Amino acid sequence: MFPRWANYLLPAIVLGAVGGAFYLPVAFGLGASPKTMAVGYAPTQPVPYSHALHAGKLGIDCRYCHNTVEKTAFAALPATQTCMNCHTNLKADSVNLKPIRDSWSTGKPVPWVKVHDVADYVFFNHSAHVNHGVGCVECHGRIDRMEVVSQQKPLSMGWCLECHRDPGPHLRPRDVKVTDMNWTPGADFDGEKLKKEYGIRDTAYMQSCYTCHR
């Protein structure tokens, strides 16, 4: 009634079940681990740039260097001109700044290494978040305290969805407080009010596949 190869179905099913019982937990554990999600990733940059000094001690606004963050999907890395606005005179002979001076004289960009990098199949728009009151610290952590920038958040799908399901607590006034690392909500803070004021769509749209995968 059954073909001869049907005799091998039961052993195959048993092997698949036993193998799956081991494979799935291992695969999930590796896929969800901080190492896989790149939490803590801090590549060596061509110039030892300290955000703790520039953004922290000196109080330079994030948007001075990342000047496209309010207008485009990509938070542009600073052009050499931006660096030279100060360093033409300040620490002009510093050995650490030689790559900046070389870039200035040759016209070739400084080969900065990207730290926060979502998968190519993910659509992420910086301007959409910043202009709707999501502070830099929500995704990047306390950049103003970092001598070497490292990835603080997993940037995973689950992590993004946590915010998309309930964006209210992650919002703040859209003025300079978006880049203010020290800002904390007061007793009168109302995230839901900001959500309505900024025209943030309902959670059904925010959790739609199309929102991030276009």
Statement to judge: residues 96 and 156 lie in one domain: no
Q: Looking at the whole model, is its pTM more than 0.85?
A: no
| Rounded CA separation 46/102 (Å) | 12
Count of domains observed in the chain: 3
What confidence tens digit (pLDDT) does each residue in 31-57 have? 555 555 689 999 999 999 999 999 999
Q: Is residue 104 part of a domain?
A: yes
Q: Which domain holds residue 202?
A: 51-77+114-212
Q: Is residue 45 part of a domain?
A: no
Confidence band (pLDDT; 50, 70, 90) for 3?
Answer: confident
What confidence tens digit (pLDDT) does each residue in 93-123 have? 999 999 999 999 999 999 999 999 888 899 9
Q: Residue 24 pLDDT more than 70? A: no
Statement to judge: residues 201 and 143 lie in one domain: yes
**What is the per-residue burial (b if ≥16 Cβ within 10 Å, else e) of 47-85?**
bebebbebbbeeebebbebbbebeeeeebeeeebeebbe
Q: Write down the pLDDT at residue 29.
A: 58
Statement to judge: residues 65 and 169 lie in one domain: yes
Statement to judge: residues 84 and 172 lie in one domain: no
171 three-class SS: strand
Statement to judge: residues 103 and 125 lie in one domain: no
54 and 60 Cβ atoms separated by less than 8 Å: yes
Average pLDDT over the chain, rounded to an integer: 89
Statement to judge: residues 185 and 203 lie in one domain: yes
Q: Is residue 28 part of a domain?
A: yes
What confidence tens digit (pLDDT) does each residue in 50-59 have? 999 999 999 9
Q: Is residue 46 part of a domain?
A: no
| Rounded CA separation 118/123 (Å) | 9
Single residue among 111, 128, 157 that ends a domain in this structure:
111
| Rounded CA separation 167/161 (Å) | 9
Q: Is residue 17 part of a domain?
A: yes
Query: Letter for the amino acid at 79?
Result: A
Q: Is residue 34 part of a domain?
A: yes
Q: Is residue 3 part of a domain?
A: no
